[in-house]
């Protein structure tokens, strides 16, 4: 049994290497034709040997990185970084190696080094989507560590630039699109955010995160009826309590409290343990002078 488990573990680790290994292999220059007869080594032969050695160290680095992901061992992180550095010494023009080195730096909180290495990777290959994603994550994470001011504005602009670049390369990256919409909203660029969100919903009409952001934009801009139409259509094909809750919010904004009550009740039925749904229902009931029922909804979360 141990032998079987060991074989399976090796298979999993080898499979984890396939994608980055292929990416690195694709980045290499074409191999020269095989010589028909033995010949003295040429500069091209030496370059081939260097690339082969670089590929070897790159594979070792990625294997160590995978082990770090499983164990969070600092020794494995150092091993991965050292192997990537050796690969980079042998193949200094590789953007793929730089991107992986930047990633291990980011995972171990060496943010400045990670950012610098990712930017170097993009100088070599501006379409390296993983490097763009890494920089975007770094900038977004930084936003949580700074207050409002010029630095925050500059960091938001950098994050927006990276998410825009990602979507230019991979238009179907919903995660990046949602973040871009959030940042547009933060900058009060609601029309840009709405365009991004509607694009997501064209591809995935059931995207709860996109529906939430878009309906909030519509409500904030006094377009409650549009939000109601959007969410009513979405609620026909789902039992997601979050959609019903958003619909209740939209009806409340439109002062249509009976329909708000109906929507909130559906949210409570679908997820009775969420106090937010009950709070919305209680508010809708109070607006209709149903104080006893409202009190029951206010007190229920305490009982739960």
Percent of the chain predicted with pLDDT > 90: 55
pLDDT on residue 48 = 65
pLDDT tens-digit readout, 247-267: 999 999 999 999 999 999 999
- Listed range (17-21, 143-147, 181-185, 228-232) with the worst mean pLDDT: 17-21
Contacts within 8 Å (CB) and 24+ apart, 9-13: 13/63, 13/66, 13/67
- Rounded to whole angstroms, how far apart are CA atoms 72 and 64? 11
pLDDT on residue 202 = 93
- Rounded to whole angstroms, how far apart are CA atoms 251 and 254? 5
pLDDT on residue 36 = 47
Residue 290 pLDDT greater than 50, yes or no: yes
Residue 16 pLDDT greater than 80, yes or no: no
Mean pLDDT of 117-133: 93
Backbone angles phi, psi at 158, to 5 degrees: -65, -40
Residue 3 pLDDT greater than 60, yes or no: no
pLDDT tens-digit readout, 26-60: 555 444 444 444 554 555 555 567 788 888 988 99
Alpha-helical segments (H) within 72-149 = 74-90, 95-107, 111-124, 129-143
Alpha-helical segments (H) within 170-254 = 174-186, 190-203, 208-220, 224-235, 241-253
pLDDT on residue 8 = 38
pLDDT tens-digit readout, 60-92: 988 998 999 999 999 999 999 999 999 889 888
Q: Which domains does the chain have, with CATH numbers?
A: 217-304 (1.25.40.10)
pLDDT tens-digit readout, 89-106: 988 888 888 889 888 988
pLDDT on residue 132 = 96
Contact 257, 284 (CB under 8 A): yes
pLDDT on residue 10 = 37
Q: What pTM was computed for the model?
A: 0.72
């Amino acid at each position: 049994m141990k032998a079987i488990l060991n074989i399976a573990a090796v298979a999993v680790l080898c499979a984890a290497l396939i994608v980055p290994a292929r990416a690195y292999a694709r980045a290499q220059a074409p191999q020269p034709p095989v010589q028909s007869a033995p010949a003295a080594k040429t500069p091209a032969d030496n370059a081939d040997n260097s690339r082969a050695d670089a590929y070897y160290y790159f594979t070792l680095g990625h294997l160590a990185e995978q082990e770090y992901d499983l164990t969070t061992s600092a020794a494995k992180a150092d091993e991965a970084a050292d192997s990537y550095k050796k690969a980079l010494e042998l193949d200094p023009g590789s953007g793929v190696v730089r991107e992986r080195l930047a990633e291990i730096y980011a995972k171990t909180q060496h943010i400045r080094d990670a950012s610098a290495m990712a930017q170097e990777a993009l100088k070599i290959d501006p379409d390296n989507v993983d490097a763009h994603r890494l920089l975007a994550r770094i900038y977004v994470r930084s936003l949580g560590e700074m207050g409002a001011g010029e630095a925050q504005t500059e960091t938001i602009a950098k994050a927006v630039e990276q998410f825009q670049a990602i979507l230019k390369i991979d238009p179907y990256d919903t995660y990046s699109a949602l973040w871009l919409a959030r940042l547009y909203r933060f900058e009060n660029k609601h029309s840009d955010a709405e365009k991004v969100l509607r694009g997501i919903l064209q591809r995935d009409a059931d995207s709860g995160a996109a529906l939430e952001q878009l309906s909030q934009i519509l409500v904030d801009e006094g377009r409650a009826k549009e939000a109601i139409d959007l969410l009513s259509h979405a609620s026909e094909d789902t039992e997601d309590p979050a959609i019903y809750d958003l619909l209740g919010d939209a009806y409340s904004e439109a002062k249509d409290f009976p329909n708000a009550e109906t929507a909130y009740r559906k949210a409570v039925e679908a997820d009775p343990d969420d106090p937010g749904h009950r709070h919305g229902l209680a508010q809708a009931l109070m607006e209709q002078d149903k104080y006893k029922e409202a009190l029951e909804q206010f007190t229920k979360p305490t009982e739960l």
